[in-house]
Structure 1
Amino acid sequence: MHEVDPEYSGLGASVMRREDVNRWRKAERARQIASRLALTPEQRRAYGERIAGHLKDLIGDLEGLVVSAYWPIRGEPDLRPFMETLASAGVQTALPVAIELGRPLVFRLWKKGDRLEKGLWKIPVPADGAEVVPDVVTAPVVGFDRQMYRLGYGGGFFDRTLAALAKRPRVFGVGYSSACLPTIYPQAHDIPMDFIVTERETVGIQAGE
């Protein structure tokens, strides 16, 4: 079903039952994660460098910004070298921290060499960094569509966080071009990204795409 335009097939998001959407998303997550894990380390490294280049161009002037990336898991694009480059230029860099299920993320300052500890799901998080509100957030995508909706892991952390922040940061979804889908069947709680950045292109309504 992932290869068929949902509107063409008559399975538009407006007529999909919630349980059907959840079932489809679960299957699509498994497919997308398997696809990116099949990439070689060299491919992931090259794609990560291209994505970082696109991000740098999109963000523009970095002076005074706090930029949040993420700790890569399950074959996600690795932006840690990009964070290191930003930190060496004096930019404050941060990582998201999941405090507990059902709550928004917090962001803590972190740069290479700072102490880490294991957070939820044993993902490394800053142990000592001060909590900050980022100006720029990069969110890894499992899948995405050209309306800038992001398919994540299903926990709702990024959507919940964006809804809770008093001031919305600039939000960049980050993933591989192979993760592009006709639709992710967005639900009422889904919040679109400002841009989706892949190794091949930048997708963004603001860019007129």
Structure 2
Amino acid sequence: MDNLKEWKKQQRQQLIAARESVAEDLHRQWSGAISAFLKQGLAQPQHMTIGIYWPFRGEYDPRPLAAHFLQQGATLALPEVIEKNKPLCFREWLPDMPMKAGAYGIPVPDSSPIVRLDAVIIPMVGFDPQGYRLGYGSGYYDRTLATYERQPLTIGVAFELQRLPNIHPQAHDISMHFVITEAGIFQTREHHLFPALTLQNSGSGSHQQ
């Protein structure tokens, strides 16, 4: 495709605008469905360190699930941009923890321990039927995942209105093991998304719980 960078920029603008324009009650309904699928899929999170995120510009908000996962024995972590064009670090997070303003004004834990992840819930601006994610264009998640010898379980979350026919992935793009929308859980197998019931057993064997 000619001028792929410009095409992705336009797609980001359109998808973020569409997401931000979703009515509050509909956003709440879709988010509730995604939360239910995350609980279903990660039914045994004991002893897992799970990366989540602080929502930005109409994204699904994973924070209401914090109490559930913590009660189940999981450790939660939030990403921090340490330096431009470098991998993210994930810091342990609890809902009552002191926070500070990070990159883009997004709150990050204030000096909590840096942890390594067993699973990570990743926001998506867009996604395609191959399980590839369109992000904000900075490449932070791709660089972070590339630092892991054993890949954490990657769970991309978005609304169905963010589904694209093709995001035209490049060599550095890493497909999600799973995608969750308000329509269900989808597993990436052989470069296609298929309906799934849990967030286990993607077939690669590299990230099974």
Q: What TM-score comes out, normalization by structure 2 length?
A: 0.88
1:61 aligns with 2:44: yes
- Larger helix proportion of the pair: 1
Contact 1:100/1:120, CA 8 A, preserved across alignment: no
Q: How does 1:193-208 map to 2 (within 5 A)?
A: 193-206=176-189, 208=194
Q: CA deviation at 1:59?
A: 2.2
- Larger strand proportion of the pair: 2
Match among 40, 43, 49 for residue 26 of structure 2: 43
Match among 136, 147, 156 for residue 164 of structure 1: 147
Task: Compute the RMSD of aligned alpha carbons.
Answer: 1.3
AA of the residue aligned to 2:82: I
Q: Structure 1 CA distance, aligned partners of 2:149 and 2:141?
A: 14
Contact 2:81/2:102, CA 8 A, preserved across alignment: yes
5+ residue gaps, structure 2: 196-209
Q: CA deviation at 1:41?
A: 2.4
Q: What TM-score comes out, normalization by structure 1 length?
A: 0.88
AA of the residue aligned to 1:98: V
Match among 134, 138, 145 for residue 128 of structure 2: 145
Residues matched between the structures, number: 192
**Bigger Rg over Cα:** 1
Indicate the percent of aligned positions where both proteins have the same amino acid.
38
Moved over 3 A (4+): 206-209
Aligned residue number for residue 118 of structure 1? 101
5+ residue gaps, structure 1: 1-15
SS in 2 for 1:164: coil
Deviation string, structure 1 residues 155-191 (Cα, Å, up to 9, x no partner):
0000111111232100000000111111001011100
